[in-house]
């Protein structure tokens, strides 16, 4: 009997590990961070957006709430309606608990499928993944997005019969994903295409079409309605043009680097675009206009800038290919050290502190104080396990494997056409880990993979 078949995780063990994980995150946040949570990437902006909602209500005119989709701050603000004041530590406990529960749910349900052998490794890899744990401590949507995707994938993997209740849960999770960031529209569309194609949902296809439409359109409507009432902007956000522009131009690397070369020439704009970062307007995007920077003006010029960038890509196909490749490399880059290319380390005092004290090495020494060669070796090993897992998973269930790969690829492709940022990989880390863990079990297992997976 193979090694992985001898390992079983009891409910008590899972619960104990989960509780220790949550307590560990809470202690790290409480005793190691001045603000009791990480403020990586857009963390400062989200923190101030939440404060604005607490002070002014859901229709606050704080710039960060119409620059980025306001779904994440609104969800955290909504916690106050359940008697929990959304302090930094409360947010860490909330996100950490959802993170742990989603992994426990995945490991429990997968034990009843053909993926049962992967459960022990997958549970440990996800529960103690440093980036997933750190993102649960961060003021940002990435941790919740990762957890919602885990739950969605679990329901799709283990649903062998037509269940309207589970369909409603999946719809709700996809709607929340889109509410937090509109880039997850791609995830929702792929999920509902898969559901529609399944034979056991055949009698519910009208409901699938209805729920899928509501899932995509309702969050966009709610975000747009909030911005229209608050500041008169008929858009869910005004950052698409700036996001595209950050990763474009002849000298651009494709990364999120506001202090380097970026931005295309846009004759329709009065002045050149710039991203203003100040003490009170961290997430507010403005341009060097001669006119007043009103929210409506920002929205108008964001649309113009978006069209300019798209036209520039069409006129410069070679640059499109070069930047696409660069952004792909950045999407899969490490989260810390000299090889890191992304925003998750910005203002991330815990990661910097850890790196500065590992064997006396500075935070610029590489991935956890290692060299690029060691990290490259690690990536090649992980890629090998990933490919082995994908190959065997296709034999187990072609449709499910295709869906999981498509979900992960959707976030990579969106990053590759906007800006290269490893932070955008966080929500799909569980999908990549699933295949890598499965590849490891295949290598350790003496017998060939079981083919008695879920029925199509």
In the predicted model, is pLDDT for residue 289 greater than 70? no
Question: Can you tell me the mean pLDDT for 365-394?
Answer: 57
In the predicted model, is pLDDT for residue 351 greater than 50? no
Same domain, 251 and 390: no
Which band of pLDDT confidence, cut at 50, 70 and 90, is reported for residue 380?
low
Render the burial of 128-164: b for 16+ CB within 10 Å, e for the rest.
ebebbbbbbbbbbbbbbbbbbbbbbbbbbbbbeeeee
Same domain, 257 and 229: no
Please count the structural domains in the chain. 2
**Is residue 449 situated within a structural domain?**
no
CB 144 within 8 A of CB 97: no
* Phi-psi sector, 254: left (phi>0), alpha (psi -120 to 50), beta: left
**Is residue 422 situated within a structural domain?**
yes
Same domain, 226 and 314: no
Boundary of a domain, candidates 276, 294, 326:
326
- How far is Cα 256 from Cα 235, in angstroms, rounded to an integer? 23
Boundary of a domain, candidates 326, 361, 388:
326
- Closest by Cα among 9, 39, 3, 196 to 103: 9
**Is residue 262 situated within a structural domain?**
yes
Question: Can you tell me the mean pLDDT for 382-407?
Answer: 73
- Closest by Cα among 213, 25, 17, 45 to 130: 25
CB 69 within 8 A of CB 223: yes
- How far is Cα 215 from Cα 147, in angstroms, rounded to an integer? 18
- How far is Cα 58 from Cα 72, in angstroms, rounded to an integer? 12
Same domain, 254 and 127: no
Q: pTM of the full predicted structure? A: 0.82
**Is residue 372 situated within a structural domain?**
yes
Give the orientation angle of helix 71-78 with respect to helix 43-56, to 10 degrees. 50
In the predicted model, is pLDDT for residue 159 greater than 70? yes
Same domain, 289 and 309: yes
Please indicate whether residue 105 or residue 270 has the higher confidence score (pLDDT): 105
Question: Can you tell me the mean pLDDT for 152-166?
Answer: 79
**Is residue 451 situated within a structural domain?**
no
**Is residue 337 situated within a structural domain?**
no
In the predicted model, is pLDDT for residue 356 greater than 50? no
Same domain, 126 and 265: no
Neighbours of 166 (CB within 10 A): 17
Tens of pLDDT, residue by residue over 54-81, are 888 888 888 888 888 889 999 988 887 7
Same domain, 272 and 404: no
Residue 225: predicted pLDDT = 92
Same domain, 74 and 199: yes
Cα angle 449, 450, 455; round to 5: 130
Which of 51-60, 164-173, 322-331, 347-356 has the lowest average pLDDT?
347-356
**Is residue 454 situated within a structural domain?**
no
Cα angle 48, 49, 54; round to 5: 95
In the predicted model, is pLDDT for residue 204 greater than 80? no
Same domain, 75 and 177: yes
Which band of pLDDT confidence, cut at 50, 70 and 90, is reported for residue 357?
very low
Q: Which domain holds residue 18?
A: 3-234+345-444
Boundary of a domain, candidates 326, 356, 374:
326
Residue 259: predicted pLDDT = 55
Same domain, 306 and 352: no
Total residue length of the chain? 456
**Is residue 335 situated within a structural domain?**
no
Same domain, 225 and 320: no
Same domain, 288 and 350: no
- Closest by Cα among 150, 132, 106, 153 to 9: 106
């Amino acid at each position: 009997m193979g090694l992985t078949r001898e390992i079983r995780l009891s409910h008590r063990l899972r619960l104990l590990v989960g509780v220790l994980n949550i307590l560990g995150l809470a202690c790290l946040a409480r005793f190691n961070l001045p603000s009791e949570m990480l403020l990586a990437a857009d963390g400062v902006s989200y923190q101030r957006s939440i404060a604005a909602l607490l002070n002014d209500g859901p229709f606050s005119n704080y710039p960060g709430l119409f620059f980025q989709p306001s779904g994440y701050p609104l969800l955290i603000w909504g916690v106050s309606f359940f008697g929990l004041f959304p302090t930094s530590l409360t947010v860490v406990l909330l996100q950490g608990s959802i993170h742990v529960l989603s992994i426990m749910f995945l490991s429990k349900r997968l034990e009843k499928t053909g993926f049962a052998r992967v459960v022990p490794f997958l549970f440990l890899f996800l529960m103690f993944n440093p980036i997933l744990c750190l993102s649960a401590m961060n003021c940002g949507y990435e941790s919740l997005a990762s957890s919602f995707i885990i739950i969605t994938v679990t329901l799709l993997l283990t649903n062998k019969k037509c269940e309207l209740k589970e369909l409603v849960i999946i719809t709700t999770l996809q709607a929340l994903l889109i509410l937090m960031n509109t880039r997850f529209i791609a995830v929702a569309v792929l999920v509902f295409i898969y559901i529609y194609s399944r034979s056991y949902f055949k009698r519910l296809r009208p409901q699938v079409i209805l729920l899928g439409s509501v899932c995509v359109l309702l969050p966009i409507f709610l975000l747009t309605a909030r911005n229209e009432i608050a500041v008169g902007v008929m858009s869910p956000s005004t950052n698409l043009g700036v996001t595209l522009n950050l990763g474009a131009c002849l000298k651009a690397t494709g990364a999120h680097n506001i202090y380097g070369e970026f931005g295309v020439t846009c004759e329709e704009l009065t002045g050149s675009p710039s991203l203003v970062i100040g003490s009170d307007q961290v997430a507010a995007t403005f341009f060097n206009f001669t006119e007043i920077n009103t929210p409506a003006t920002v929205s108008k010029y964001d649309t113009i800038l978006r069209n300019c960038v798209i036209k520039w890509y069409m006129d410069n196909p070679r640059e499109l290919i070069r930047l696409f490749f660069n952004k792909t490399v950045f999407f899969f880059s490490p989260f810390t050290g000299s090889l890191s290319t992304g925003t998750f380390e910005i203002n991330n005092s815990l990661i910097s502190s850890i790196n500065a004290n590992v064997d006396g090495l500075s935070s610029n020494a590489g991935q956890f104080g290692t060299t690029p060669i060691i990290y490259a070796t690690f990536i090649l090993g992980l890629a090998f396990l990933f490919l082995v897992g994908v190959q065997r998973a296709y034999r187990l269930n072609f449709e499910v494997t295709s869906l999981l790969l498509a979900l992960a690829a959707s976030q990579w492709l969106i990053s590759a056409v906007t800006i290269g940022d490893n932070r955008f990989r966080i929500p799909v880390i569980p999908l990549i880990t699933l295949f890598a863990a499965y590849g490891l079990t295949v290598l350790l297992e003496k017998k060939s993979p079981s083919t008695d997976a879920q029925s199509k």
